[in-house]
């Protein structure tokens, strides 16, 4: 206090005596504390923006981030479109919800052998492609065949649930340690945007035709499956720690589609 370091003195006091945080202090000290808190929050926000812009600092990182965001968006959209689309395919809503839960549990268990014996890229791309084909297959089935529609829709849900689980691991392995949390976290945020849009897709487009929501998800699933093929495989590789280490790893290329 005698050296004019009132803010530091107040922080030490509140740590030693927690009840002092609720004590009455003069306006000058209170203002200084508020200013210090404001500067800390601004610093965290600037740090986040700096890390976020790093995701697009090079062409390779921009490509990986764009594909990761696409995977997250399609996963979130497809997951909830299938979950909410039961009425549009004339399924009993209670049975539909119950079977969705069973299928989701089995899907998560199936990812264990996939991750052990198959590469991340093949698993993610294959599951996206299978989900897309299954959703488009609903177009060929008459609406009166409710049981068959239900079966195909649940198979699509199985693929979407499995690919969501595998893609989380795959996306995290694409980034170096310094920006891994930001890359994965922002991809999950984009996934939530897809989840928010899903009810409107089901309600608005499903009102025009029962098959439109599934068709949209099917087309997007196949599109993303082709994008994932351009990513490098990460299974059995040394993960980069810094942006400099990324230069030693395989980058995003069209020719990666032929490498597994």
Least reliable range by pLDDT among 10-14, 62-66, 111-115:
10-14
Burial of 210 per CB tally in 10 Å (0-12, 13-18, 19+): middle
Q: Which of 74, 68, 97, 163 is nearest to 124 (CA)?
A: 163
Answer whether residue 241 is part of any domain.
yes
**Residue that the structure tokens 């299928």 belong to:** 103
Residue 63 lies in a domain: no
Are 166 and 68 spatial neighbours (Cβ–Cβ below 8 Å)? Answer: no
Q: Give the per-residue pLDDT at 150.
A: 85
Write out pLDDT tens, residues 205-251: 888 888 899 999 999 999 999 999 999 888 888 888 888 888 777 77
Q: Is residue 192 part of a domain?
A: yes
Predicted confidence at residue 187, as pLDDT, reads 94
Q: Is residue 254 part of a domain?
A: yes
Tell me the pTM: 0.78
Q: Which of 50, 77, 54, 79 minimizes the C-alpha distance to 64?
A: 54
pLDDT of residue 167: 94
Name the one residue in this structure whose structure tokens are 């049975």: 95
11 falls within a domain: no
How many domains, the chain? 1
Among 33-42, 43-52, 166-175, top mean pLDDT goes to: 166-175
Residue 14 lies inside a defined structural domain of this protein? no
Amino acid 14: pLDDT: 67
pLDDT at 22 over 60: no
What is the rounded average pLDDT of the residues 108-115?
91
pLDDT score, position 27: 47
Is residue 9 over pLDDT 80?
no
- For 227, residues 6+ apart whose C-beta sits below 8 A from its C-beta are 67, 70, 71
Q: How far apart are CA 58 and CA 242, in angstroms?
A: 14
Q: Indicate the pLDDT class of residue 36, thresholds 50, 70 and 90.
A: low
The Cα 71–Cα 257 span in angstroms is 17
Give CA separation, 128 vs 37, 57, 133, 215, 239, in Å: 45, 28, 9, 14, 24
| Residues 112-162 pLDDT 10s | 998 888 889 999 999 999 999 999 998 888 877 878 888 898 899 999 999
Give the tens place of pLDDT for each residue, 162-195.
Answer: 999 999 999 999 999 888 999 999 999 999 999 9
Rounded CA separation 114/107 (Å): 11
Phi, psi (deg, nearest 5) at residue 58: -130, 165
Predicted pLDDT at 195:
94
Question: Strand runs (DSSP E) across the chain, as ranges?
Answer: none
**Do the domain assignments include residue 39?**
no
Q: What is the CATH number of the domain that holds 189?
A: 1.20.1250.20
CA terminus-to-terminus distance, the chain? 65
In a domain, 62, yes or no: no
Residue 35: pLDDT band by 50, 70, 90 thresholds? very low
Look up the domain containing 253 and give its range: 68-258
Contacts of residues 4-9 at CB distance under 8 Å and 24 or more positions apart, as own/partner, are 6/32, 7/32, 7/33, 7/36
pLDDT at residue 84 greater than cutoff 90: no
């Amino acid at each position: 206090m005698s050296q004019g370091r009132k803010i530091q003195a107040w922080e030490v006091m509140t740590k030693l005596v927690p009840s002092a945080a609720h004590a009455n202090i003069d306006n000058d000290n209170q203002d200084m504390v508020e200013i210090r808190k404001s500067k800390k929050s601004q610093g965290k926000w600037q740090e986040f923006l700096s890390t976020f812009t790093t995701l697009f600092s090079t062409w390779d990182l921009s490509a990986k981030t764009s594909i990761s965001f696409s995977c997250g968006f399609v996963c979130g959209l497809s997951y909830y479109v299938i979950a909410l689309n039961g009425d549009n395919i004339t399924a009993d809503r209670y049975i539909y919800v119950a079977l969705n839960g069973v299928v989701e549990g089995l899907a998560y268990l199936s990812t264990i052998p996939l991750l052990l014996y198959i590469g991340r890229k093949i698993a993610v791309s294959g599951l996206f492609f299978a989900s897309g084909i299954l959703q488009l297959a609903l177009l060929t089935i008459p609406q009166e065949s409710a049981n068959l529609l239900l079966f195909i829709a649940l198979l699509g849900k199985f693929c979407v649930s499995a690919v969501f689980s595998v893609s989380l691991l795959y996306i995290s392995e694409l980034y170096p340690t310094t920006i891994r949390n930001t890359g994965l976290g922002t991809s999950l945020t984009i996934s939530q945007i897809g989840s928010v849009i899903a009810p409107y897709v089901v309600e608005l487009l499903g009102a025009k035709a029962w098959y439109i929501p599934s068709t949209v998800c099917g087309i997007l699933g196949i599109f993303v499956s082709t994008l994932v093929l351009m990513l490098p495989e990460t299974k059995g590789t040394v993960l980069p720690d810094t942006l400099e280490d990324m230069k030693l790893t395989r980058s995003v290329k069209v020719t990666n589609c032929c490498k597994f």
